[in-house]
Amino acid sequence: MGAAKVGKSAIIHKFLYNTFTPKYKRTVEEMHHGDFNVSGIHLILDILDTSGWYEFPAMRELYIKSGGAFILVYDVNDSNTFLEVKALRAQIHSTKGAVPIVVVGNKIDLVETEKEVSFSRIRLKLLF
């Protein structure tokens, strides 16, 4: 989950299909399925790629209620997307209690200065 255009779909496609498409396409909602063998154990992973456009707060609430774990994504070049992650994290905790959450700073390859990377690290520390 995360704001629009932070790269949620790109991360999913790279992880599951080892592909990357640089052209932006707005996601409405897409379900992805992955089968993995981890140390001889067969795991099935269902990933819901959510829209970053939260016109309907009830949909966001439904995503949170139905999720077993969350990956929250922000764009390291856009501090507003980090604020969105903070709000999502708070909403998840208030709705679900203790649940696995991973926070991902994306688009690090587009950072122009080391200073921006440092600010991103500071933001992440402030989250926890």
DSSP the chain: -BSTTSSHHHHHHHHHH-----S----SEEEEEEEEEETTEEEEEEEEEE-S--S-HHHHHHHHHH-SSEEEEEETT-HHHHHHHHHHHHHHHHHHSS--EEEEEE-GGG---HHHHHHHHHHHHHH-
The C-alpha atoms of residue 10 and residue 28 are separated, in whole angstroms, by 14
Quick one: pLDDT at residue 21? 83
Residues 6 or more apart in contact with residue 68 via CB below 8 angstroms = 99, 100
Would the pLDDT of 117 be above 60? no
Residues of the chain above pLDDT 90, percent = 53
Task: Give me the domains of the chain, ranges plus CATH numbers.
Answer: 8-110 (3.40.50.300)
Confidence of residue 86 (pLDDT cuts 50, 70, 90): very high
Q: What is the pLDDT of residues 3-52, one digit of tens each?
A: 999 999 999 999 999 998 888 777 778 889 989 999 999 999 899 888 77
The pTM of the whole model exceeds 0.95 = no
